[in-house]
């Protein structure tokens, strides 16, 4: 399983010590994770471990074993069920001690809190600004359980709620907190592994809102999620053209204008900012332009 993960077209992977590992298997899993990280072969992917939540007896030993054993080969720790910024502060202080003791660079390992309950959502702005936080991750399954939502299928609308999207508030709250704190917003898992259409529908919502990525649980989910979180080709081309046209029109050669026309569309500084978002995502995904804009000849 770990070997298969090395070859997948993903930006980040995480090795789990939490819900996917049975209580009696935690100690062995820690050692296997240290081995998998130190062996390497992860090819530039962000390397993460999800430790157990702080309401268990396992977290401190997870952190000590993994960071002492493989701290130099680890980029972030995913901390589940974060319901207060104190959880993140505990991890920050613990990491700092281990980094000092092991001669590792202090502060290099980032923290990704999972927002998985009502308290975490209420405290989200302080959590997003806590030390070392690089991303907020939505944990939809635990979150649905925490608010007593009447659905067993992650991301599907609870029967009886027919006035909109039952997940909109949570997703948008997480996204806004992440953007305000300048950290990433990551959507969590879709559990029906064989249902790629369902994944596209549910993941399409967080992608459309502006989330930076989504977990995959299985290789069969990778292509759909990469596609959802990359701009469509026409949008990418359009965004790059807005940037080029705006740069030219605002330059001396283009008349130093503040607003200009691109075809039938008026573009201005706000258009440039929107275009930068789409172009940035397309460039990060390695997209190439089909139909580059060129300045008018006269």
| Residue closer to ligand GLV, measured from CB, 69 or 188 | 188
Shortest distance in whole angstroms from residue 159 CB to Mg ion: 23
In the list Mg ion, ligand GLV, none, the entry touching 155 (Cβ below 5 to 8 angstroms by class) is none
Residue 192 φ/ψ, nearest 5 degrees: -85, 85
Q: Which residues pair with 186 in a beta bridge?
A: 137, 213
Residue 282 near Mg ion by CB under 5 A? no
CA angle 70, 40, 13 (to 5 degrees): 85
CA–CA distance from 249 to each of 135, 143, 148, 246 (Å)? 37, 48, 54, 5
Give exposure, 216-249, as e/b (b: 16+ Cβ within 10 Å).
beeeebeebbbebbbbeeeebbbbbbbbbbbebb
Residue 71 near Mg ion by CB under 5 A? no
Scanning 132-140, 166-174, 245-253, 259-267 for contacts with Mg ion by CB under 5 A, the matching segment is: 132-140
List residues near ligand GLV by CB under 6 A.
80, 114, 116, 139-142, 188-189
Q: Which residues contact 100 (CB under 8 A, 6 or more apart)?
A: 106
Scanning 2-10, 116-124, 255-263, 277-285 for contacts with Mg ion by CB under 5 A, the matching segment is: 116-124
Give exposure, 58-85, as e/b (b: 16+ Cβ within 10 Å).
bbeebbebbbebbbeebbbbbbbbbbbb
Shortest distance in whole angstroms from residue 140 CB to ligand GLV: 4
DSSP helix/strand/coil, 296: coil
7 alpha carbon, distance to own chain's centre: 20
Residue 142 near Mg ion by CB under 5 A? yes
Shortest distance in whole angstroms from residue 188 CB to Mg ion: 7
| Residue closer to Mg ion, measured from CB, 33 or 275 | 33
| Residue closer to ligand GLV, measured from CB, 82 or 95 | 82
| Residue closer to ligand GLV, measured from CB, 65 or 114 | 114
Scanning 25-33, 84-92, 142-150, 216-224 for contacts with Mg ion by CB under 5 A, the matching segment is: 142-150
Give me the residues that bind Mg ion (CB under 5 A), please.
116, 139, 142
């Amino acid at each position: 399983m770990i070997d298969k993960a090395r070859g997948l077209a993903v930006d980040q992977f995480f090795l789990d010590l939490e819900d996917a590992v049975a209580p009696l298997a935690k100690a062995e899993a820690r050692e296997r994770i240290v081995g998998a990280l130190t062996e390497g072969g992860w090819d530039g992917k962000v390397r993460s471990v999800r430790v157990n939540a702080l309401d268990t007896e396992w977290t401190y030993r997870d952190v000590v074993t993994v960071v002492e054993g493989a701290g130099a080969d680890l980029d972030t720790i995913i901390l589940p069920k974060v319901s207060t910024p104190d959880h993140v502060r505990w991890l920050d202080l613990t990491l700092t001690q281990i980094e000092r003791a092991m001669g590792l660079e202090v502060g290099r390992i980032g923290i990704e809190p999972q927002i998985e309950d009502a308290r975490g959502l209420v405290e989200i702005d302080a959590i997003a600004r806590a030390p070392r936080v690089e991303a907020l991750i939505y944990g939809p399954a635990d979150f649905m359980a925490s608010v007593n939502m009447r659905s067993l299928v992650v991301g599907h609308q609870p029967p009886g709620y027919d006035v909109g999207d039952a997940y909109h508030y949570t997703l948008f709250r997480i996204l806004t907190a992440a953007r305000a704190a300048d950290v990433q917003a990551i959507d969590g898992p879709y559990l029906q592994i064989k249902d790629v259409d369902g994944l596209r529908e549910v993941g399409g919502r967080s992608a459309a809102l502006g989330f930076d990525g989504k977990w995959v649980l299985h290789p069969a989910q990778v292509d759909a999620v990469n596609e959802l979180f990359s701009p469509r080709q026409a949008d990418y081309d359009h965004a790059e053209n807005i940037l080029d046209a705006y740069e030219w029109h605002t330059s001396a050669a283009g008349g130093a204008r503040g607003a200009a026309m691109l075809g039938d569309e008026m573009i201005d500084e706000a258009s440039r900012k929107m275009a930068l978002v789409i172009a940035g995502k397309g460039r990060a995904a390695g997209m190439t332009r089909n139909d580059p804009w060129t300045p008018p000849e006269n």
